[in-house]
Amino acid sequence: MLRFVVALQAEARALIERFGMEPAGEGPFSIYRGEDAWLIVSGPGKAAAAAATAYLHLFSGGELGRAWLNVGLGGHRARPVGEGVIAHKISDGASGASWYPQLVVDSPRPTVAVLTLERVEEEYSLPWVYDSEAAGFFPTACRFSVAELVHCFKVVSDNADATLSRRMSSTFLEHLIARNLGDLETFARDLAALAEELAAWAAARHPIRLPAPEGNTADDLR
């Protein structure tokens, strides 16, 4: 199954509809479940993203090696509003730590560096995508999976010509995610397929051995 982590309900709506998800119980976060996907709405900020990622891991069964995808909005000084991108580097503006997601499936969108900040950024001094969740999500999700299965898909919501100082409705934010759903779904399902391949490879390499019946040794059963 896929695990989606998003910050805002407006970012979640199009994904919930596309993957046929329904509310999955009450708790500190809004969680949705479909036949082959889970989604959690974390709220903004890297601490919230980290907490929600850990919570969803436990809530969804605590299975390791699943595909994780953080979907959200971000700013960039030059890229057009509405463009989808995938992170090949994630840096934490507060700590200076960096992580490098491993892309081993085809990327349907350009790849970029993402910088996570706790404050709203409107100067765009670096040619990076600015967000508020990736540096909390990525290292947390990597505790439950491998870097090849943990990724961030960002959609540009603001740039030097259209800063966040203008008011954006939730409908507009939802539209930005919705216009990228085709590439988002392709990327997510490729990750899920990779997760299945890795799980099958691991099972073949380390098969489960049943205990021998009482009175017989393992050699007797060969």
Cα torsion angle, 179, 182, 185, 190, sign: negative
Q: Tell me what pLDDT residue 221 has.
A: 30
pLDDT of residue 149 exceeding 80, the answer is yes
Rounded to an integer, what is the distance from CA 102 to the centroid of its chain? 13
CA atoms within 13 A on the CB side of 93: 20
d(CA 46, CA 90): 12
Q: Express each pLDDT in 176-207 by its tens digit.
A: 999 999 999 999 999 999 999 988 887 777 65
Which residue segments constitute the domains of the chain, with CATH numbers given?
2-161+171-204 (3.40.50.1580)
DSSP conformation class of 151: E
Report which of 115, 73, 111 is spatially closest to residue 90, judged by C-alpha positions.
Answer: 115
d(CA 148, CA 167): 36
Q: Express each pLDDT in 53-62 by its tens digit.
A: 999 999 999 9
Quote the Cα angle for 64-70-75, to 5°: 160
Q: Tell me what pLDDT residue 84 has.
A: 97
CB 61 within 8 A of CB 73: no
Of 214 and 132, the one with more pLDDT: 132
Pairing of strands 111-116, 67-75: unpaired
Q: Tell me what pLDDT residue 203 has.
A: 77
Contacts (Cβ under 8 Å, ≥6 apart) of 133: 5, 7, 42, 44, 45, 46, 48, 49, 70, 72, 116
Confidence at 215, pLDDT banded by 50, 70, 90: very low
